[in-house]
Chain A
Amino acid sequence: MTALKLTGVCKTFGKVKVLHDIDLTVEEGEFVVFVGPSGCGKSTLLRVIAGLEDATSGSVEIGGQVVTDVPPAKRGIAMVFQSYALYPHLTVKGNMALGLKQAGEDKALIEDRVAEATRMLDLAPYLDRRPAELSGGQRQRVAIGRAVVRQPKLFLFDEPLSNLDAALRMNTRIEIADLHRKLDTTIVYVTHDQIEAMTLADRIVVLRAGRIEQVGSPMELYNDPVNQFVAGFLGAPSMNFVPAGVLGKTAATAGIRPENIRIAADGQMAATITHVEHLGGDTNVLARLDSGEPITVRLFGQHAHEVGDAVRLGFDEAHLYLFDDTGARVR
């Protein structure tokens, strides 16, 4: 069944058009991630889905019902915010129970649901604390718990990990993936971090300037980007772009991923190393081609390269992506 269907959704603020004709279908149980640079409209789109912003035109369907004119509380959604947005005057338990209380649910049912979420998210020791007495990671778990107890048809996550530090971010990321498996519900997740997108998503929606650039599974997008923007946005370090002429090709730009380049005596390109990053597991070599373009090479394992070394860089023609001057892929 279709969990979410957007048809021709547009949004303008005054004269600024933020979303252009967004069409998207999300199947039940899917984990969909909206990703894009800041200001691309991904958060606005999430707000339109939540009903916190009205779409200027177009329709939103959740679980098969058109909810374009339905208030947020009646859309069968739950949302987790970047700033947690816990109610400061309520305890953890109060925070989780408020939505159900407002909906006029039975007391026993509220207790049950809160207890279940508490167990699932290990919140038992904190139930009677107020948000001010919790750490960032704990607050985010409470925020997730507040969403879980509502048993929504659709979970919305608005950059939930952005305020956490790196180690905690990875743990929480795994918890969210775990939660998705346990609950088996549909999740729409917004982030600007392509690693979160790649690791969590069943399908990624790449947005730029209010338009959908490409939709697909992480590996589809990684291996077969439709344009230069998607190619450059996914993957870290990001794809190298050089004028195609340098490699003797006829397109405008040629792209190649750093891990597909090797340092080899029989390589096609001559370059000089400008910087080396030793990461232990990987070594990133930054070099400048003799024709002047900077290029990044990602080598697996540890390699002893020195700044200033002249090297030859080789690659497989099959790994080359070509783009025309509008950025579209040339196949």
Chain B
Amino acid sequence: MNKARRNPVNLIAAHGILIAYTLIALFPVFVILINSFKTRKAIFREPLALPDADSFSMIGYQTVLKQGDFFGYFQNSMIVTVVSLTLILLFGAMAAFALAEYRFKGNTLMGLYLALGIMIPIRIGTVAILELMVSTGLVNTLFALILVYTAQGLPLAVFILSEFMRGVSDDLKNAGRIDGLSEYKIFFVLVLPLVRPAMATVAVFNMIPIWNDLWFPLILAPAEATKTLTLGSQVFIGQFVTDWNAVLSALSMAILPVLILYVIFSRQLIRGITSGAVK
């Protein structure tokens, strides 16, 4: 901000609001974290107290690691999220490029059709999807989840990315054509790097719902070998008794990978890389 326009009152107000929001947003995470390191009694006696010598306990983590195949679930979640995201970004960007770059009959109609999925929740089709998976023998495979999540993520990806693709300089693409680059090479080498911030946005938007989803893993892949982390954590939540230590520990560990992925993507979000390409 320009020094002449910097007003101390505004500055304090802005930072005050931002700090307040940060505290509110981080508070639940903080509570989960501190309580995951406490004994069961301490959790209920003083939920907001930090773990001390008396109340400190790793029992939650021990339970989680002993009961069930926690690392297996973890791996399943990771595979489903990463593969789905890759497919969403790849196919979404390709479709967006075609819509933005080529003039053909029904271009607008095709764009609308692809964007329709934003308005219709995919869960409405759950029964049909389940029937489909049963008859194709894909029930209880990670592949089923990957397919569903890819379908779920594509509409928004196409919608957002095609807007950004339109912003990529035509001259740059044409220069590539004159230099003999194939359309694929123009897409992968020239256009994709320029829309990287948009890709990161799409990735972040899609990653969290996929990672946290309970619905489709429960319906399509509830087998022990294909359980995702979210589904796996449910064993600790019973109808009558809930093992809060274990639940909180599992949640704490589940936060980490999403956090790491988010950090990776958000770096791309912030980085301005188009400067100097044209003009």
Binding site for B on A (CB under 8 A): 47, 50-52, 71-74, 77-79, 81-89, 98-99, 102-103, 130-134, 136, 146, 158, 163
Contact = CB atoms under 8 A, between A and B. Distances in A.
Contacts of B194: 88
A51 B194 CA distance: 25
B276 A130 contact: yes
30 contacts: A52-B177, A52-B178, A71-B177, A72-B174, A73-B178, A73-B179, A74-B180, A79-B174, A81-B171, A81-B174, A82-B171, A83-B169, A83-B171, A85-B169, A85-B175, A86-B277, A87-B190, A88-B193, A88-B274, A88-B276, A89-B189, A89-B193, A98-B181, A102-B180, A132-B275, A132-B276, A133-B276, A136-B279, A146-B175, A158-B171
A131 B181 CA distance: 19
Nearest to A158: B171
A72 B178 contact: yes
Q: Which 9 A-B pairs have the closest CB atoms?
A: A132-B276, A73-B180, A85-B171, A88-B277, A102-B180, A99-B179, A81-B171, A85-B175, A83-B278
B255 interface: no
Contact of B279 (A77, A84, A99, A133): A84
A78 B178 contact: yes
A44 to B, nearest CB: 13
Given A98-B179, A146-B175, A158-B171, 13 more contacts: A47-B174, A71-B177, A73-B177, A73-B179, A78-B178, A81-B175, A83-B171, A85-B169, A85-B278, A87-B172, A87-B176, A88-B194, A88-B274
A75 B174 CA distance: 14
A68 B169 CA distance: 25
Contacts of A86: 175, 277-278
Residue picked from A88, A103, A136, most chain B C-beta under 10 Å? A88
A134 B276 CA distance: 8
Contact of B277 (A74, A131, A133): A131
B277 A132 contact: yes
A163 B276 CA distance: 13
B278 A84 contact: yes
Nearest to B277: A88
Contacts of A52: 174, 177-178
Nearest to A71: B177
A158 B178 CA distance: 13
Contacts of B274: 88
A50 B178 contact: yes
Given A85-B171, A87-B172, A88-B274, A79 B279 contact: no
Contacts of A136: 279
